[in-house]
Amino acid sequence: MEKTHVAIVGMGTVGSGVARLLLDHGDRLARHAGRVLWLNKALVRDLSKDRGISGLPAGVLTDNLQEILENPQIQVVAHLIGGIEPARTIMLKLLESGKDVVTANKALLAQHGEELFDRARSLGRTIAFEASVGGGIPIIANITQCFTANQIISLRGILNGTSNFILTQMSEKGLDYNRALEIAQNMGYAEADPAMDVDGSDAAQKLAILAHLAFGVRIDWKDIQRHGLEAFTIEDIRYAEKLGYRIRLLATAQLIDDNLELHVSPTLIRNGRPLAEVRGPYNAITIVGDAVGDMFFHGQGAGQMPTASAVVADMIDTAAGRTDITFRRLQLWSDRQCEIELTPYARTLGRYYMRYLVADEPGVLSQITGILGNYRISISSIIQHEPAESSDPSKVPLIIMTHVCTEADASKAHEAIGQLSSVDSRCFKLRVSEG
């Protein structure tokens, strides 16, 4: 059988998983690719570090990128280092030395997709990136190949495995936030800088990539309004449960009359809805297409082998020549015109959960409902709890669920309520989703 020589750049969590698949399941991969994928080189920074891979042939590991760039046998490279630099420079060098690239680095694509894709196109090379969104879930292939008969109308997803793992560990096992994050890091789910996972940045980068593929919009991920797990507490998780909801970090792209709203925020999702049931490092995406209707994708969005599964599938597609066809046809990150306008975040519509700690005195409730009324916000439910035995008896938690209103009105009303002398400054608001 013919051989395609491949290399791996970066042998961390994902790179080591890719090496394991190539070395332990070479026969299976050869059957699927119609050729042998031969691991020729694997680049690391530290040659002495144990990579936990048995059967890595002598001479494969190198700390010298030139050994890959200058080796004309190597055709396909899995680029599996994170962050922006030196990842960007290395990817450009790989393309310039004639290699086709497979990557899982969404931060790099979300920030420099245009430059990298232009360069690949001008050099006649390809970049495949299934693993950059949703880990093992084949969402890129579905959007770019299977849904091409559709106008996608909405795309809503849990796109960060680390934050979903933290949320479920907190709510189901009662772990505190820091302990849950530590486990996610040990399991290999988190980014080298986990701040990106928990502040909504990683999900926004993935949403920017999906929005480009599904709607043709090119948006700087930093312009996507995003909130992370930093502000709410375990009490909010418990109040949400009592109301029949779960909190999930939800990325939303919703098309209404050629206007697209994009945001990432912790959101209350009604129990029993598919996205509310997503646990641990799993990701899920619901897509609505005008012809196909609703689709739901669910799978492990972070972790070594699920991500390696997507990377190796892309390596097989590249070796077999399929990527070349899709890459050329899709014209990703090219200058094609897009009719879709982005909806300013303040104008997006939604329901809200608002939580306050208020003085247990006559008239407070009417002040608060008065402010909501002034902003034309209708209340769907209101719950006032008795103070916990251990807490200040003069203050009581108040939870308000609103009907649909604009983000601008919800924010202004929430701010005005927070300024009342009878309301503690530690107040909080979250989006609510029924679907």
Question: Under rule CB under 6 A, which residues in 109-148 are in contact with ligand HSE?
Answer: 135
Name the nearest CA neighbour of 429 among 223, 279, 239. 239
> DSSP string of 148-188?
TTS-EEEEEEE--HHHHHHHHHHHHH---HHHHHHHHHHTT
Residue 113 binds to ligand NAP (criterion: CB under 6 A): no
SS3 295: strand
Residue type, 102: V
Place of tokens 């909080």: 428
Residue type, 18: V
Active site residue 206: yes
Q: Provide, rounded to whole angstroms, the least separation between the CB of residue 138 and ligand HSE.
A: 14
Q: Provide, rounded to whole angstroms, the least separation between the CB of residue 67 and ligand NAP.
A: 12
Instruction: List, as own/partner pairs, every contact residues 364-368 make where C-beta atoms lie below 8 angstroms and the sequence separation is at least 24, other chains included.
Output: 364/420, 364/422, 364/423, 365/398, 367/420, 367/422, 368/398, 368/400, 368/417, 368/420, 368/423
SS3 145: helix
Q: What is the CA radius of gyration of the chain?
A: 24
For ligand NAP, the closer CB: 206 or 429: 206
For ligand HSE, the closer CB: 130 or 407: 130
Judged by CB under 6 A, the residue of 44, 128, 139, 209 near ligand NAP is 44
Q: Which stretch binds ligand NAP (CB under 6 A): 6-14, 122-130, 224-232, 259-267?
A: 6-14
Task: Choose among ligand HSE, ligand NAP, none what residue 385 binds, the Cβ cut-off being 5 to 8 Å by kind.
Answer: none
Site string for ligand NAP, 240-279 (x = CB under 6 A): ----------------------------------------
DSSP letter for 267, please.
E
As a whole number of angstroms, the distance between CA 101 and CA 128 comes to: 6
Task: Choose among ligand NAP, ligand HSE, none what residue 160 binds, the Cβ cut-off being 5 to 8 Å by kind.
Answer: ligand HSE
Task: Choose among ligand HSE, ligand NAP, none what residue 162 binds, the Cβ cut-off being 5 to 8 Å by kind.
Answer: ligand HSE
Q: Which stretch binds ligand HSE (CB under 6 A): 140-148, 187-195, 361-369, 425-433?
A: 187-195
CA distances from 99 to 2, 178, 247, 390 (A): 18, 41, 43, 64
- Based on the number of CB atoms within 10 Å of its own CB, is 46 exposed (0-12), middle (13-18) or buried (19 or more)? exposed
Question: Under rule CB under 6 A, which residues in 252-311 are in contact with ligand HSE?
Answer: 301-302
As a whole number of angstroms, the distance between CA 8 and CA 249 comes to: 32
For ligand NAP, the closer CB: 103 or 267: 103
Task: Choose among ligand NAP, ligand HSE, none what residue 289 binds, the Cβ cut-off being 5 to 8 Å by kind.
Answer: none
Site size for ligand NAP (CB under 6 A) = 26
Q: Provide, rounded to whole angstroms, the least separation between the CB of residue 124 and ligand HSE.
A: 29
**Binding positions for ligand HSE, rule: CB under 6 A:** 135, 160-162, 189-191, 197, 202, 301-302
**Binding positions for ligand NAP, rule: CB under 6 A:** 10-15, 43-46, 49, 80-82, 86, 104-105, 131, 135, 188-189, 191-192, 302-303, 307
